[in-house]
Structure 1
Amino acid sequence: MSAFFQIEELFGRAAELTWMDRAACVGSDGDAWFPEEGGRPSPQVRRICDGCPVREDCLAYGSDWPGVWGGKTERARRKHDA
């Protein structure tokens, strides 16, 4: 297969990916995003979220879910929305 067709195939698939597929946390330890109630995200989680290309989408999606979404805990999201 030529390089052209490989690139074309890649871009075709990229258009079908959701924001969750493009998240920087894909493949990482899911438990890290669910600290104990009142707990803070670990430095590793903060670094991953800070550099994530879909952080705003994640923050909007997670507004009603427990855990860290878009780099913010439930408590921080409630404070942000107030």
Structure 2
Amino acid sequence: MSAYAWMDDALCAQTGPDAFHPDGSGHGYRAAAKICDACPVREACAEHATRLEGAGSHADRHGMWAGTVPRTRAKQAETTPKAQRDALILRLHDRGGMDADEIATAADCNKRTVYRVTATHRDQAAA
């Protein structure tokens, strides 16, 4: 299976590219955001954008990907891999439906890390 097979299901592939690369006419990314909000492959799109753009600056990023504008993606890229992993653990934990082993697999860490991150978050929320 191709690493790009997910693109076949992307809603943006079924529309014109102009909404995802506004020309400064004042309409911004509103139309693209609506399409991204309903897209079934948004997570794969975000991962692809991260691989494609790397740690580049805002100026190195173009268009909307996975419902995020260049400035937002640049800010996200500034966070450390550990912070990104911890944020993923918390999102998966808060969403529910996954046990610690499943979260650890998704976040590419061990179960102890999942317990540490969620306990730290719980303690900070209680304080």
TM-score (norm 1): 0.65
Residue 60 of structure 1: how far off its partner (Å): 1.4
Specify the SS of the correspondent of 1:25: helix
Select 1:69's aligned residue among 60, 65, 69: 65
Whole-Å separation in 1 of the counterparts to 2:68 and 2:16: 17
Q: Which residue number corresponds to residue 23 of structure 1?
A: 10
User: 2:32 aligned with 1:45, yes or no?
Assistant: yes
Which structure has more helix as a fraction of its residues? 2
Residues 29-57 of structure 1, C-alpha deviations (whole Å, 9 max, x = no match) = 102111248x8412x21111011110011
Q: Percent identity?
A: 36
Residues 4-35 of structure 1, C-alpha deviations (whole Å, 9 max, x = no match) = xxxxxxxxxxx888110001122211021112
Q: Which residue number corresponds to residue 34 of structure 1?
A: 21
Specify the SS of the correspondent of 1:35: coil
Q: Structure 2: any 5+ residue segments left out of the alignment?
A: 54-60, 79-127
Specify the SS of the correspondent of 1:26: helix
Whole-Å separation in 2 of the counterparts to 1:35 and 1:29: 11
Whole-Å separation in 1 of the counterparts to 2:64 and 2:72: 9
In our comparison, the structure showing a higher alpha carbon Rg is: 2
Q: Which residue number corresponds to residue 81 of structure 1?
A: 77
User: 2:42 aligned with 1:55, yes or no?
Assistant: yes
Q: Structure 1: any 5+ residue segments left out of the alignment?
A: 1-14
RMSD over equivalenced CA pairs, Å: 2.4
Whole-Å separation in 2 of the counterparts to 1:76 and 1:35: 16
Q: How many residues align?
A: 66
